[in-house]
Amino acid sequence: MRYAIPLLILGVLLAFFAVGLQRDPRVLPSPLIGKAVPAFELPVLALPKAESPPLSMGNAAFAGKPYLVNFFASWCAGCQVEHPYLMQLAKQGGVTIVGVDYKDADADVRQWLAARGNPYAPILVDLDGRAGIDFGVYGVPETFVVSADGRILHKHVGALTPEAFARDVKPLLGAGS
Amino acid sequence: MIPELGHFALILALGIAFLQTVAPLVGYRRRDAKLLAFAGSAAQAQFFCIAFAYACLTISFVNTDFSVAYVAQNAHTDLPNVYRFSAVWGAHEGSLLLWMLMLSGWTFAVSVFNRRIPAELSALVIAVLGVISVGLLLFMLLTSNPFDRLFPVPLQGRDLNPLLQDFGLTIHPPMLYMGYVGFSVAFAFAVAALITGKLDAAWARWTRPWTTTAWMFLTLGITLGSWWAYNELGWGGWWFWDPVENASFMPWLTGTALIHSLAVTEKRGLLKSWTVLLAILTFSLSLLGTFLVRSGVIVSVHSFASDPARGLFILIFMAVITGAALTLYAFRAPKLASVGELHLFSREGLLLLNNVFLVVACAAILIGTLYPLVIDALNLGKISVGPPYFNAIFLPLMVPLFVLVGFGAVVPWKKGKAGETWQRLKLPALFAVAFAIVVPLALHGRATLLAVTGGLLGAWTIVAASQDVWRRIRAKPSFIAGLASVPRATWGMTLAHAGLGVWALGVAFVISYGYEKDVRLAPNATTEIGDFTFGFVGAQEAKGPNFIAQQGEVTIERGDHSVTTLYPQKRFYPSQRNVMTESAVDATLMRDLYVSLGEGFDDGSWSLRIYVKPMIRLIWLGGVLMFLGGCLAASDKRYRLARAADRKLALDGGTQAA
């Protein structure tokens, strides 16, 4: 009977692998969920048409209403994918999308937005990626859902899709007020 | 047209592989010599098909034919020619094709070099290899065809991952795969032995050179991988206990155990079922390595491609191959009873102990690698297991192993004598102790526990290992005659064991006396590390064939005289918008000076990462020595001369074993 032990061990291992395969390895729960948004104070990207916006904005500017923080960059392919959907969300209104332009040249992102439209309420510039580090950003695009009282409720990794928004984001927007 | 020919060749190879499996099995049942002989021809035909397909893909890369999806994803018109050849295995589909090329190559070799062993055994071995072929070819054709066309055809490709544009990586995967896949031959021999029920000294002797050859390629592959990571990843480390590194290290550990248990099976006819189990395990762990890298079950820096659908296929494939082999083992292994008794204090006893340590070390690494997966599967959260666990578990297990190596070469088969062993080993032991105390103090002025332990074990292993050669030479009247009388297998063993000792010295010294420093330096500023002065001259733009780089200039001085000037680069590859760190290293056997560029600041200053790594080259030198030892051992003339005699023996005595 002891000669069958290796076979049994294999069976158990295979079962775990089979379960492991069902998991998405990209889902990495953020340790920040439920915690307060990291303090940030970032320069605002000046856009040609805007009427003299503030030079920089921080947490305080957004308190009181739930909002999304979307890390993006003009050099990122996934951001192009999610861009049309963000435009649609912006058109529907209902939620403020704060764009954080991550490690990107201002001129590049202006051109990028000119070609595609601007879904963001303000665009903050994170040139050296410091805010990205505070938020624990692995790569762009990543989207954080922040409650009215300033806690991170959810983190979405990769391009935001209508399904993901309806499933993970929308139910949270009423919370925390 | 060329990609279609390649695709067609793969389909043809699948058909042939199927016949290669079925015909010998039918032939074995019906005792039909013609069907058995068909195995070899099929193996050769399959090899030519795969080689043809491989050539087709290579041509597509050289011509940068972007209508082939795989080429478009991994090449660029600016890609230098050398890397167009290596880009073939730069991602998933192509590396599978390389895997297949290796497998059919090994099968081809079996069909050529096995002419002298019983037709029945050779045909069964080829049939088992055929099963693996069928599975992999199906996998390739169904989920990852490298010849898929892309429409509309892009004007420019996405280029090869810049991480892979390095000489180390052009040869690291082929060597690693040669090793991984090579163990399939040992696996096939083991399964064939389970089918026929014949497992004798001759079987072990036939299996040994194949196993040793696979092992030496794996050794070289791992060594190259470690060297590549050191050069290319810019972290200055040589081993990270990353899941994918572990995946290559586990078959190495069981493969090493297998080489030693095969020796016991050949010389003493013991440990038969254990040897078979190790052969199955080693190849299964090689498959597991492929599975881990390709499925995305475990995320790692090495996982260049991950896709759950592919993962599922590999999982089923693994379940079939390993499951079938272990089922066969459960039924047949009890019949492979060994005759003769085993004394612990004998060479075979010590080899058994060595096997225990190696397999336990492998199990510990397996647990550490899979633990995050199990925790995740049980919904207990996501965690990762890091180097502290592996170092804490692995290093203590290695200490007794190194001590054993010294004894192994001296204690005779059957039964050792304590007094005699002591007579032979007291000088090496004395030397090792002296070495361990004197060398660290003389070189670095202070001795750490690790350096002394490493020095002790390293010196002990090297000196005790050379005992065998020394005694053989002493036994002959002249030194030259003595040198000539040492068989290659003995040279091989000695060299491999000495390599292990050299490796241990390198590890202990680099950990004990290495310096690491992250500094921000303005142009013309200097910093002191150890007894070296690093001066940062400044950074300038430099252009490569397909990248733009910021190139720093760092002068290094020791005391008053200049040692060298290094030019580390930070490269930007426009085709993939990817930034790569290209560190600069000045290497001698005694120390490495390593500089890599971090971030540049507006005022012209840069953050620099500087390492001084004493004796780190010994780590890779050890690996290369083990590789060379494997070459010598596998090419021992004993294996070639003995075959004719074995065949007669197997024909006469085969029925009695069954």
pLDDT per position as a tens digit, B496-514: 999 999 999 999 999 888 8
3-state secondary structure of B280: helix
3-class secondary-structure state, position A16? helix
Helix (H, G, I), strand (E, B) or coil at B302: coil
Answer yes or no: is pLDDT of B350 > 80: yes
Alpha helices (H) in B31-91, listed in sequence order: 33-62, 69-74, 81-86
Nearest residue in A to B306, CA atom: A25
Nearest by CB to B319, from A4, A14, A75: name it.
A14
The answer on pLDDT for A2 being more than 60 is yes
| Residue B296 CA: distances (Å) to CA of B95, B443, B578 | 16, 45, 22
**Residues of B with Cβ-Cβ distance to A26 under 8 angstroms:** 299
The pLDDT tens digits of the residues spanning B19-36 come to: 999 999 999 999 998 999
pLDDT tens digits for B59-102?
999 999 999 999 998 888 888 888 899 889 888 888 889 999 99
Check residue B657 and give its pLDDT: 38
Instruction: Give the residue extent of every domain in chain B.
Output: 1-162, 426-508, 515-617
Q: Is pLDDT above 80 for B639?
A: no
What pLDDT does B259 receive?
A: 96
Q: What is the pLDDT of residues B263-297, one digit of tens each?
A: 999 998 888 999 999 999 999 999 887 767 655 55
What is the DSSP annotation of B345-395? SSHHHHHHHHHHHHHHHHHHHHHHHHHHHHHHHTTS------HHHHHHHHH
In this predicted structure, what is the pLDDT of residue A25?
A: 54
Which residue type is seen at A132? G
Asked if the C-beta of A12 comes within 8 angstroms of chain B's C-beta atoms, the answer is no
**For residues A58 and A40, is the Cβ–Cβ distance under 8 A?**
yes
Containing B539, the helix (H) or strand (E) segment is: strand B532-543
For residue A10, give the chain B residue with the closest CA. Answer: B323
Q: What percentage of chain B carries pLDDT values higher than 90?
A: 45
Residue B619 and residue B510 in contact, taking contact as beta carbons nearer than 8 Å: yes
Please give, rounded to a whole number of angstroms, the shortest distance from the CA of A91 to a CA of chain B: 31
What is the H or E stretch that residue B143 is in?
helix B119-143
Q: What are phi and psi of B501, to 5 degrees?
A: -65, -45
Domain spans, chain A: 29-172
The confidence score (pLDDT) of residue A177 equals: 41
**What is the mean predicted confidence (pLDDT) over B551-569?**
90
Put simply, whether A133 touches B (Cβ < 8 Å) is no
Which of 3.50.30.30, 3.40.30.10, 3.30.420.40, 3.40.50.300 is the CATH number of A29-172?
A: 3.40.30.10
Q: Which of B298, B326, B572 to mutate to test the interface with A (most CBs of A within 10 A)?
A: B326
Mean pLDDT estimate for chain A: 82
The answer to whether B74 and B91 are in contact (CB under 8 A) is yes
CB B543 within 8 A of CB B488: no
- State how far residue A130 is from chain B, nearest Cα, in angstroms: 13
The whole-number pLDDT of residue B387 equals 81
End-to-end CA distance of chain A: 63
Express each pLDDT in A46-94 by its tens digit. 877 666 667 788 888 888 888 999 999 888 777 888 888 999 988 888 7
For residue A2, what is the nearest residue in chain B, using CA coordinates?
Answer: B330
Chain B 446-485, residues with CB within 8 Å of chain A CB atoms: none
Which comes out higher in pLDDT, residue B649 or B657? B649
The confidence score (pLDDT) of residue B644 equals: 53
Within 13 Å and on the Cβ side, how many CA atoms surround B217?
A: 19
pLDDT for the residue numbered B303: 40
Cβ <8 Å between B382 and A28:
yes
> Quick one: tokens of B445?
């002025």
pLDDT value at residue A151: 87
**What mean pLDDT do residues B605-634 have?**
92
Residue B536's H or E segment, with its range, is: strand B532-543
CB atoms within 10 A of CB B474: 9
Residue type, B593: L
A and B: number of Cβ contacts within 8 A: 65
Find the CB nearest A25 among B299, B370, B577. Answer: B299
Residue B516 sits at the chain A interface (C-beta within 8 Å): no
Q: Strand B569-573 to strand B578-582: parallel, antiparallel, or no bridges (unpaired)? A: antiparallel
Smallest CA–CA distance from A3 into chain B, residue: B330
CB contact residues (below 8 A), chain A span 63-92, against chain B? 75
Q: Is there a contact between B373 and A29 if contact means CB atoms under 8 Å apart?
A: no
Q: What is the pLDDT of residue B304?
A: 38
pLDDT tens digits for B451-472? Answer: 999 999 999 999 988 888 888 8
Contact A14/B315, CB-based, under 8 Å? Answer: yes
pLDDT, position B658:
33
pLDDT score at B410: 84
Residues of B in contact with A133 (CB under 8 A): none
Q: Determine the distance in angstroms separating the CA of A25 from the nearest CA of chain B, rounded to an integer.
A: 6
- Band of pLDDT at residue B10, cut at 50, 70 and 90: very high
- Check pLDDT > 60 for residue B653: no
Q: Which of B332, B335, B373 to mutate to test the interface with A (most CBs of A within 10 A)?
A: B373
Q: Which CATH number fits domain B515-617: 2.60.120, 2.60.98, 2.40.50, 3.40.50?
A: 2.60.98
> A16 in contact with B at a CB cutoff of 8 Å?
yes
Give chain B's mean pLDDT.
87
B322 vs A: CB within 8 A: yes
Query: How close does chain A come to B283, measured CA to CA in Å?
Result: 13
For the cut 90, the answer to whether the pLDDT of residue B13 exceeds it is: yes
